């Protein structure tokens, strides 16, 4: 006996015959040892082991609480629980990513780089939910571009029932007593909102996360300029997030922009040691195994082994301008060129920010000129009126021209004054459209009232010219679209009926113009729907549903606001009425129809004015693109944006506008496009192939087998239903049947609702639920409201489970007597629940793997696995059976460490196999990573040692040095450390 009571002897070591060292385990499971002598012997006594449980608990309640415990532990024995409890139908490449690449890695540092449209958001949601169900995730931060955060929030809620909050200024202001990151454990934040706010970054530094997911992570870039490393604010945010989280998942479809040096800097966000130092060709090899997965859209397969994505084909439709249109084009282009020259003069005068703003405005004006007579007429008209108002304001105030208000608006939207192409691409479509409206109508290079008067007069003449063209009835571009809609055999079906088609334009004026003309052409207003940046997100979804579901709605006219987050694969036909100056937008638009669920070959028509300067650039580009498409089976669309990293397409287009009448400029632009789209795409596609994973038919067969095994082991919905209805009713809840397999919950007791605040369920428990179901296929029933799927992970189910376990856990400790009505023997068996947990070797050990099992013991000392829920096949005893069973409780085998027997069996059988499985998975990855780190560091040490020797020689020879020899020496020694 010790002061704390009886102990269990673990080991003894005699020292002669009069003393021994006793190693023992206390009641609180703590190991200790003590030196004992013969004179201690009178104070020692042998405690008789007693039955650990009284076995007098209510049998039915025991079954209910045991089932609650099993549901809580469901992820321990159901290897794909998130799949069966989410509103998704995952595909082979998604299952392989989550269960083959992400979940086995603990902690995770990984880049998911599958092509656009492959469902990376689904994979991330599945991973998040699986970690939650396994008890490995309580705090998760998703970082995404501003245009995608609402889509993330909706998809996580609708498909996975995960309720994430959006980080907004209002949310920050409403959290005065703590940081917003502490208060909200499930959070979605805009990338630039975090990277550009010093206040939010300070708060973020004090937080910690179980998982951080970064979408469009390639925007976190860094570059070397000479010998100096320049990191962007986004890259610095990525470095900070990596320090704050246990798991880090980066996602992008464009990880490699053609620069190996920048690519390795990007990968250093995941593992700085493996990519230490600057990349040097011929010195540093790269191995992304275990760190990255990339699958190409055209090579993804279904469970049947068929291509997941159909072919996609693009056509170029060149058209000539009419004489009047050509005159208007030349006049407006001349105005743009002259104003651009004046904007350049602003830069020379020290007004660089204003120069950039004016340049941006002129770019937009030129694009509207190419869009439609309606767009350029309305733009010229608004611009003239705005400048006239500005002239009157300035004349009365006696001031010079200033664009301060515009610069303030740009700073509010972009975080700085001057527009930058990269920043503008990050803006949501609606904000970008609004910004363009303001800037194009108001930004001017005029610095005096006289200059402003001259510009207003020019605009008035241009406006009159545009008005004559607009109402002349001569619109060659519209004529091409009209002919496509009326006569093209692909756009019309066998009966001559128009198929559903999407028409993209860049400008709202053109959109309104096209809606009016197409409705007149088809003779039915309901045949045409429209989406632009001014349409609220909820209304956009309604338009999407209308276009998708209504057979009479045939044409959707959209600006790039529809290129963000909308799934439009109900159609397989698309027209680019305006070609975007950002080539990434082409893929983004095409991706609206060429995505998972599309079964038809996708067709895209690009309308191009062949006798404009920018039209000639586009025709050359599209011609080369078609050559490459035939060679690479459509893969060129996915890398088109990356091909123009070195020489942005918008720069080429504006060079064509300003200098395209010079033969030498046109020849040089042709050479750049040929090199970019020809050799450039060859190089990019080859680089992607180096880092590409292939989904073979054998992989699909393996995934199919894994899913079949998971289905056999999964927590069946009827078990969840039986438990929930009984437990919920016991707790005072009211649930009633609605349709077949669907129920209505009319009352959720207050103590159940309070659980979400007590245990942090991540989503509130509601007072009532209009529709719930336990079967995934009944979540959506035609003509009925969507139902909540009640399964592990749903806050109501988790709240009921937690409350039942808390309230009745004593029954589990008491034990109960159950009768096996199908047993072939009357021999008693002891059922024990066991959890296994394997941790790593860190100072604060982290769990690597967990399992939950039942084992049955017999009086003979044997043990066997009992299956996932053996008690469900047992029943409560009658009075006679209970009395007989109680007589068995005094038998010695129950009083002599039966639980220890269960633990011993688990260690010898289940745990050893479990440990071997984890070792096979983890140890090779550790060894490979260690070898790669050692190789990289050794190469760097050798490099700096060689530089040290060279620098010493140079110093001795009196040659000028860029760095001191001591610097190179210290660098090598630091790396050794």
Q: Does residue 120 register a pLDDT over 50?
A: yes
Strand order, beta sheet including 186-190: 165-166, 186-190, 140-144, 209-215, 245-251, 109-112, 292-293
- Report pLDDT for 413: 45
Question: Is the same domain home to 383 and 448?
Answer: yes
C-alpha distance from residue 50 to each of 54, 56, 896 (Å): 10, 15, 7
Q: Is residue 939, in this structure, part of any structural domain at all?
A: no
Question: Is the same domain home to 244 and 358?
Answer: no
Q: Can you read off the two tokens belonging to residue 697?
A: 């038919």
Q: Does residue 360 register a pLDDT over 80?
A: no
Out of 17-26, 371-380, 498-507, least confident range: 17-26
Question: Is the same domain home to 645 and 725?
Answer: no
Domain span at 143 = 85-295
Question: Is the same domain home to 460 and 481?
Answer: no
For the segment 886-906, what is each residue's pLDDT rounded down to a tens digit?
777 777 777 656 677 778 878
Q: Does residue 781 register a pLDDT over 50?
A: yes
Q: How confident is the model at residue 30 (pLDDT cuts 50, 70, 90)?
A: confident
Question: Is the same domain home to 160 and 288?
Answer: yes
Question: Is the same domain home to 255 and 152?
Answer: yes
Looking up tokens 């020489």 gives 647
CA atoms within 13 A on the CB side of 90: 30
Q: Is residue 816, in this structure, part of any structural domain at all?
A: no
Give me the mean pLDDT over the 6-22 stretch.
Answer: 87
Question: Is the same domain home to 379 and 254?
Answer: no
C-alpha distance from residue 621 to each of 73, 625, 642, 909 (Å): 57, 6, 14, 65
Buried b (16+ CB within 10 A) or exposed e, 402-435: ebeebbebbeebbeebbbeeeebbbbbbbbbbbb
User: For strand 8-15 and strand 222-225, is the pairing parallel, antiparallel, or unpaired?
Assistant: unpaired
d(CA 545, CA 767): 29
According to DSSP, the residues that pair with 528 across neighbouring strands are 555
d(CA 361, CA 880): 92
Buried b (16+ CB within 10 A) or exposed e, 686-721: ebbeebbbebeeebbeebeebbeebeeebbbbebbb
Q: Is residue 48, in this structure, part of any structural domain at all?
A: no
Q: How confident is the model at residue 298 (pLDDT cuts 50, 70, 90)?
A: confident
- Report pLDDT for 509: 92
- Please give the DSSP secondary-structure letter assigned to residue 110: E
CA angle 560, 561, 563 (to 5 degrees): 60
- Report pLDDT for 322: 93
For the segment 553-605, what is each residue's pLDDT rounded down to a tens digit?
999 999 887 656 667 888 999 999 998 887 777 877 888 888 888 889 999 99
Q: Is residue 332, in this structure, part of any structural domain at all?
A: yes
Secondary structure element (H or E) that encloses residue 914, with its range: helix 912-957
Nearest to 911 by CA among 853, 841, 842: 853
Q: Is residue 422, in this structure, part of any structural domain at all?
A: yes
Q: Does residue 297 register a pLDDT over 70?
A: yes
According to DSSP, the residues that pair with 264 across neighbouring strands are none
The structural domain count of the chain equals 6
Q: Any idea what the CATH number is for the domain that residue 537 is in? A: 3.40.50.300
Q: Is residue 676, in this structure, part of any structural domain at all?
A: yes
Give me the mean pLDDT over the 518-538 stretch.
Answer: 89
Question: Is the same domain home to 283 and 235?
Answer: yes
Give me the mean pLDDT over the 311-322 stretch.
Answer: 90
> Taking the model in full, what pTM does it have?
0.77
Q: Is residue 822, in this structure, part of any structural domain at all?
A: no
Q: Which residue has the higher pLDDT, 164 or 283?
A: 164
Question: Is the same domain home to 620 and 580?
Answer: no
Does residue 298 sit in helix, strand or coil?
helix
Give me the mean pLDDT over the 512-527 stretch.
Answer: 94
For the segment 219-262, what is each residue's pLDDT rounded down to a tens digit?
898 888 877 888 889 999 999 999 999 999 999 987 776 577 88
Question: Is the same domain home to 220 and 146?
Answer: yes
- Which residue among 755, 776, 810 closes a domain? 810
Question: Is the same domain home to 133 and 161?
Answer: yes
Q: Any idea what the CATH number is for the domain that residue 200 is in? A: 3.40.50.10810
- Report pLDDT for 418: 45
Give me the mean pLDDT over the 873-883 stretch.
Answer: 84
CA angle 430, 433, 437 (to 5 degrees): 140
Average pLDDT of the chain, as a whole number: 83
Give me the mean pLDDT over the 952-962 stretch.
Answer: 87
Q: Is residue 848, in this structure, part of any structural domain at all?
A: no
- Which residue among 810, 836, 856 closes a domain? 810
Question: Is the same domain home to 672 and 740?
Answer: no
Q: Does residue 800 register a pLDDT over 90?
A: yes
Give me the mean pLDDT over the 730-756 stretch.
Answer: 93
Give me the mean pLDDT over the 644-673 stretch.
Answer: 74
């Amino acid at each position: 006996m010790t002061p704390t009571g009886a102990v269990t002897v673990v080991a003894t070591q005699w020292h002669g015959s009069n003393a021994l060292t006793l190693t023992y385990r206390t009641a609180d499971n703590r190991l200790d040892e003590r030196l004992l002598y013969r004179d201690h012997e009178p104070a020692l006594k042998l405690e008789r082991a007693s039955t650990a449980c009284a076995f007098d608990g209510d049998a039915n309640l025991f079954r209910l609480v045991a089932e609650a415990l099993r549901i809580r532990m469901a992820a321990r024995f159901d290897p794909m629980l998130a799949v069966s409890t989410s509103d998704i139908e995952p595909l082979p490449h998604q299952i392989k990513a989550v269960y083959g690449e992400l979940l086995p890695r603990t902690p995770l540092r990984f880049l998911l780089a599958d092509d656009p449209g492959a469902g990376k958001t689904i994979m991330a949601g599945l991973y998040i939910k699986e970690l939650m169900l396994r008890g490995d995730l309580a705090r998760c931060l998703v970082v995404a571009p501003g245009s995608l955060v609402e889509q993330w929030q909706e998809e996580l809620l609708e498909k996975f029932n995960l309720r994430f909050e959006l980080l907004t200024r209002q949310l920050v202001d409403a959290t005065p007593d703590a940081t917003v990151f502490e208060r909200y454990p499930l959070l979605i934040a805009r990338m630039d909102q975090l990277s550009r706010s010093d206040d939010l970054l300070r708060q973020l530094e004090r937080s910690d996360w179980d998982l951080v997911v970064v979408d469009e992570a390639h925007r976190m870039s860094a570059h070397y300029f000479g010998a100096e490393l320049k990191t962007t604010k986004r890259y610095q945010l990525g470095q900070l997030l990596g320090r704050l989280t246990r798991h880090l998942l980066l996602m992008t479809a464009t990880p490699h922009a053609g620069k190996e040096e920048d690519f390795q800097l990007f990968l250093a966000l995941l593992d700085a040691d493996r990519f230490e130092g600057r990349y040097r060709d011929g010195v540093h090899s790269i191995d992304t195994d275990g760190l990255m997965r990339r699958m190409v859209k055209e090579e993804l397969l279904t469970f049947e082994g068929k291509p997941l994505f159909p072919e996609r084909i693009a056509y170029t439709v060149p058209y000539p301008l009419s004489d009047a249109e050509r005159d208007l084009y030349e006049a407006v282009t001349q105005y743009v060129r002259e104003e651009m020259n004046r904007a350049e003069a602003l830069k020379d005068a020290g007004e660089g920010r204003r120069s950039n703003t004016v340049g941006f405005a002129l770019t937009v004006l030129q694009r509207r000129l190419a869009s439609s007579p309606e767009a350029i007429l309305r733009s010229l008209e608004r611009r003239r009126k705005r400048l006239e108002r500005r002239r009157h304001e300035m004349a009365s105030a006696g001031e010079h021209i200033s664009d301060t208000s515009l610069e303030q608006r740009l700073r509010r939207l972009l975080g700085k004054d001057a527009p930058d192409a990269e920043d503008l691409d990050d803006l949501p479509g609606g904000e970008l459209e609004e910004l363009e409206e303001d800037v194009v109508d108001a930004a001017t290079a005029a610095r005096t009232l006289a200059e402003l008067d001259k510009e207003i007069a020019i605009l008035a003449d241009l406006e009159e010219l545009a008005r004559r063209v607009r109402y002349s009835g001569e619109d060659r571009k519209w004529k091409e679209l009209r002919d496509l809609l009326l006569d093209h055999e692909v756009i019309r079906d066998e009966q001559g009926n128009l198929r559903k088609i999407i028409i993209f334009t860049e400008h709202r004026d053109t959109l309104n113009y096209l809606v009016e003309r197409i409705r007149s052409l088809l003779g039915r207003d309901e045949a045409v729907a429209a989406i632009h940046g001014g349409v609220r997100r909820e209304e956009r979804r309604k338009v999407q549903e209308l276009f998708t579901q209504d057979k009479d709605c045939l044409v959707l006219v959209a600006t790039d606001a529809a290129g963000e987050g909308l799934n439009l694969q109900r159609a397989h036909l698309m027209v680019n009425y305006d070609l975007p100056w950002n080539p990434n937008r082409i893929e983004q638009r095409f991706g609206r129809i060429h995505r998972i669920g599309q079964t038809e070959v996708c067709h895209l028509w690009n309308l191009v004015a062949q006798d404009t300067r920018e039209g000639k650039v586009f025709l050359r580009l599209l011609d080369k693109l078609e050559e490459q498409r035939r060679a690479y089976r459509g893969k060129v669309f996915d890398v088109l944006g990356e091909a123009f990293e070195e020489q942005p397409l918008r720069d080429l287009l504006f060079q064509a506008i300003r200098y395209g009448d010079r033969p030498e400029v046109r020849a040089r632009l042709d050479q750049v496009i040929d090199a970019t789209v020809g050799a450039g795409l060859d190089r990019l596609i080859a680089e992607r192939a180096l880092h590409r994973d292939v989904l073979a038919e054998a992989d699909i067969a393996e995934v199919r087998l894994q899913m079949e095994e998971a289905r056999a082991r999964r927590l069946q919905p009827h078990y969840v239903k039986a438990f929930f209805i009984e437990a919920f009713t016991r707790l005072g809840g009211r649930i009633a049947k609605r349709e077949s397999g669907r129920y209505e919950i009319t009352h959720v007791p207050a103590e159940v609702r309070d659980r979400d605040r007590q245990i942090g369920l991540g989503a509130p428990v509601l007072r009532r639920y209009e529709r719930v179901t336990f079967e995934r296929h009944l979540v959506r029933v035609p003509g009925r409201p969507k139902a909540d799927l009640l399964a592990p992970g749903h806050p109501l189910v988790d709240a009921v489970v937690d409350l039942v376990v808390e309230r009745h856990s004593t029954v589990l400790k008491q034990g109960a007597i159950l009768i096996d009505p199908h047993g072939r023997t009357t021999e008693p068996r002891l059922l024990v629940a066991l959890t296994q947990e394997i941790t790593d070797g860190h100072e604060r050990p982290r769990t690597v793997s967990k399992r939950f099992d039942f084992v049955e013991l017999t009086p003979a000392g044997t043990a066997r696995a009992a299956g996932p829920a053996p008690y469900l096949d047992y029943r409560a005893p009658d009075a006679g059976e209970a009395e007989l069973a109680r007589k068995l409780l005094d038998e010695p085998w129950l009083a002599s460490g039966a639980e220890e027997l269960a633990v011993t069996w688990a260690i010898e059988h289940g745990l050893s196999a479990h440990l071997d499985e984890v070792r096979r998975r983890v140890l090779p990855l550790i060894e490979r990573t260690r070898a790669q780190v050692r190789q990289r560091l050794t190469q760097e040490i050798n490099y700096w040692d060689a530089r040290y020797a060279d620098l010493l020689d140079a110093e001795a020879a009196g040659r000028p040095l860029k760095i001191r020899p001591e610097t190179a020496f210290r660098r090598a020694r630091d790396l050794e450390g």
